[in-house]
Amino acid sequence: MSGNSTEPLNLFDYETLAQTRLSRRAWNYISDGAADEITLRANRQAFDALRLRPHMLRDVSVIDTTTSFLGASLAQPVMVAPMAYQRLACEEGEVAVAVAAAATQTALCLSTLSTREIGEVAAPHGSLPRFFQLYMLKDRGITRELVSRACASGFGAIVLTVDAPYPGRRERGSADRMVLPSGLHLANLDGLGGRESWSIANFASELDASLSWRDLDWLSSLSPLPVIVKGILRADDASMAIDHGAGAICVSNHGGRQLDTAIASITALPEIVQAVHSRCDVILDGGIRRGTDVLKALALGARAVLVGRPVIWGLAHSGAAGAQRVLELLRDEFRLAMALAGCARISDIDQSLVV
């Protein structure tokens, strides 16, 4: 814990407390990275290596953190990343995270591998901006059904994860082979593809390693929803994604959980923003822990950022209230960082702030 307060002061405090509340198996699943976890660490180290050059004598008496993404109004440029198996952290799982996102007026990305069903998460929060994260499986009928459900439940975009043709090699928790505890299940998949219920092993075996750009064309044809392509780390891939109908790009290395020694997301961001040339919005995930991280990402061209593990830490600490507090801490830190950098509005943030 930081200081003498009994309440967490920052996201790192929530991380420390979450480890004491989660089972060893759940903690290892949530926190580990691929292989030697070099990329996992690099996501943080790259943010820490960036320095800020603040403006002075700017009127920052009123700070406006509002923005928008794909037509959704956001109170801050911080959205909830898609994360699997959230009921590992608390019974309400994804429903509690939806409550937290709605309370802080930001957007939620729901994972294909959620432990609450699409409609159950969406139903109580009709105005909550929400996007559905999708893994492309070998059975394209499953993809059609999931996209159809997302449309029917008021989701505003499909987030196609493209960096996981196979599961990454995650060794830290290898002695505790990840299986869902009794009572938890893959709520969005059960009953699809001829399976009454799905296991984690079933899912991994159905990932489609043949996924290619033509499949992005096909996915875009299934619904009017824009497709956010998540997992891009190269400028040429970003350009290809736009050519094949992407509505937005998410710069991501899967939280350091797929290809170890891959470039940090924030390091990849500038060249991708340059390649996109304002043809679509670019967002980023991986390593966001402070409001200054959000400021740096926006200065380098991101429209918004996604935050994953810290939301789960908050959920493990105190359910929806904990997840909400994590998002509030980031909002408050970001507002202060804007003020101290001489930026009263999001539009004041530009690349000159970052060394």
pLDDT tens digits, one per residue of 242-255: 999 999 999 999 99
Question: Residue 28's pLDDT is what?
Answer: 94
Cα–Cα distance measured from residue 186 to residue 198, given in angstroms and rounded to the nearest whole number: 6
Query: Which range has the worst mean pLDDT, 155-159, 183-187, 267-271?
Result: 183-187
Amino acid present at 243: D
Residue 295 has pLDDT above 70, yes or no: yes
Query: Out of 55, 185, 244, 254, which one is annotated catalytic?
Result: 254
Q: DSSP letter at 258?
A: S
CATH superfamily of 11-345: Aldolase class I (3.20.20.70)
Residue 5 has pLDDT above 60, yes or no: no
pLDDT > 70: what percent of the chain?
A: 97
Confidence of residue 176 (pLDDT cuts 50, 70, 90): low
Confidence of residue 349 (pLDDT cuts 50, 70, 90): very high
Cα–Cα distance measured from residue 142 to residue 23, given in angstroms and rounded to the nearest whole number: 32
Question: Residue 4's pLDDT is what?
Answer: 46
Grouping H, G, I as helix, E, B as strand and the rest as coil, residue 181 is coil
Question: Residue 125's pLDDT is what?
Answer: 80
- Alpha helix (H) ranges present in the chain? 11-21, 24-31, 38-49, 94-103, 118-122, 140-152, 200-206, 213-221, 235-243, 265-276, 291-299, 309-340
55 is catalytic: no
Q: DSSP string spanning 305-346?
A: EEE-HHHHHHHHHHHHHHHHHHHHHHHHHHHHHHHHTT-SBG
Contact 81, 88 (CB under 8 A): no
Q: Which two tokens stand for residue 23?
A: 């089972």
- Per-domain residue ranges for the chain? 11-345
According to DSSP, the β-strands at 227-232 and 248-251 are parallel
Angle, CA 245 vertex, CA 128 and CA 347 arms, to 5°: 55
Cα–Cα distance measured from residue 101 to residue 124, given in angstroms and rounded to the nearest whole number: 12
Q: DSSP string spanning 15-73?
A: HHHHHHHS-HHHHHHHH--STT-HHHHHHHHHHHH--B----S---SS-B--EEETTEE
Cα–Cα distance measured from residue 141 to residue 10, given in angstroms and rounded to the nearest whole number: 43
Question: Residue 2's pLDDT is what?
Answer: 52
pLDDT tens digits, one per residue of 256-268: 999 999 999 999 9
pTM: 0.96
